[in-house]
Amino acid sequence: MNNPSLPADPAEANDPLGSLSEQETTSYHTAFGSDPKNRLAMNAVTRSDLSDIAMDRDAFRAVDHHFSDRVHPKGDATSQKASGRCWLFAGLNVMRLGLMKEKNIKNIELSQSYLLFWDKYEKANWHLECIIQTVNEPLEGRLVSWLLANAVPDGGQWDMFVNLIEKYGVVPQSAMPESHSSSATAKMNRLLLHKLREWTKSLRDAHDEGGSLADLRTLKDRMMAEVYRILAIHIGEPPSTFDWQYEDKDEAFHRYEGLTPHRFRDEHLPFNVSDTVCLVHAPTEDKPLNTLLTVSFLGNVVGGHTTRYANVSLDTMKKAAIASIQAGEAVWFGCDVGKRFHRDLGVMDTDLYDYNLVLGTDTALTKADRLNYGDSLMTHAMVFTGVDLRDGKPQKWMVENSWGDKVGSKGYFIMTDAWFDEYNYEIVVSKRFVDKAILDIFDQDPIVLAPWDPMGALA
């Protein structure tokens, strides 16, 4: 029986005008064959990658990895491997640059697996708290369904990164190296997701049987002990103290003993993540310019910072990013990396592909349309470490990625300024690089977005 609250199923609709006729298909076939260029394109694309066939030669020739302004020093490319930890890598890559400069170190990595452990731990607790808060919501409703689908993702947002740094500090990678599961998170994630769904049922059942809030939290305590055990077995236990030693560029030896993650952060990392702001460009009607945005049910640390964005113009974002780069601070950003992008070349360029020449069609949605119709959202976080200015205007941006040194220019990518306009959504800079009028936005009451809003996407 049909659900009267749903539209008619097309399979059951008694409307022959909506079906595809043989005559229509024949006309499409005839039209295709009437243009020899279609057969040429078919022969090429069926044997080769569309990205190579459609690449515009002039745009390819314009690829140039030189920039008028960039951050020094330049770290070696990092690799998140088979994981979705780009936001953690990008955040730690921003933080390490000041350390490298201050200590005269050629290169260092901060431990991404250390933050991964605590992020998964906190996200599990966040999820269970969300379930406790929504025990009266219908199981089949959109909110609970969304919570069950997004319990312990690898991705995150900047304020979630700040939560981890403030609560747990930082350690060098030597103090907590990568594990198999930190570099390839899929199996660990599946196990955690299975357990969290199982525990969701347990908490909701306990509530339905008359359990109090205290009863549910007692259950949650047992669940979190199991989460800790699972994470420790997969990733290793995070260190509470460690020794750190290194040789600087002059081959002088240095050693620090008995450091804690908080002491290492406070005494050796000059970049203060707590003194930053997150600026976004989301040009849809429900998100006016110069307003504060937040996303409900998006976070990791209960009691920590909520995700907050100031929705500003592209010019405001670029002005802040340029000021940061010129002052020697890299810029964390979130974008839709898969659009108009060549992975091996490491180029993000709206003119890189001439799809119309090959396919006879191209996409025509605006940035706002892409957000509204589910065609774009933040998918990846990286770091701006340079900008190429001509007459004060940005032409392209230097991007430090976390996909290793085999792509781009030893792991560094190029983003044209036109691509920034269309597919970059978010930057993070120190507060001193934005005007007071922008800082005042963060004193507003925020517009609260639904969890599934595209601006709630995790980089």
Task: Clarify whether 401 is annotated catalytic.
Answer: yes
Q: How far apart are CA 168 and CA 13, in angstroms?
A: 57
Sole residue written with tokens 């991964």? 116
Task: Clarify whether 104 is annotated catalytic.
Answer: no
Task: Clarify whether 380 is annotated catalytic.
Answer: yes
DSSP code string of 89-112? HHHHHHHHHHHHHHHT-S---B-H
Do residues 453 and 142 touch, judged by C-beta distance below 8 A? Answer: no
Q: How far apart are CA 434 and CA 313, in angstroms?
A: 12
Do residues 152 and 224 touch, judged by C-beta distance below 8 A? Answer: no
For the record, the structure tokens of 99 come out as: 């350390």
- The answer for residues whose C-beta is within 8 angstroms of residue 200's C-beta and 6 or more apart is 127, 128, 131, 147, 148
Read off the amino acid at residue 119: D
Neighbours of 320 (CB within 10 A): 24
The residue from 93, 150, 401, 424 that is catalytic is 401
**Residue 25 per-residue DSSP state:** H
| CA dihedral over 280, 281, 284, 288, signed as positive or negative | positive
Categorise residue 408: left if φ over 0, alpha if ψ from -120 to 50, beta otherwise.
left
* Side-chain half-sphere CA neighbours of 99 within 13 A: 21
Peptide bond into 73 cis (omega under 30): yes
3-state secondary structure (DSSP) of residue 301: coil
Q: How far apart are CA 106 and CA 373, in angstroms?
A: 45
Bridge-based pairing of strands 447-449 and 291-295 is parallel
The residue from 189, 311, 380, 424 that is catalytic is 380
For the chain, the residue count is 459
Do residues 314 and 420 touch, judged by C-beta distance below 8 A? Answer: yes
The residue from 86, 130, 278, 335 that is catalytic is 86
Q: Known catalytic residues?
A: 86, 380, 401
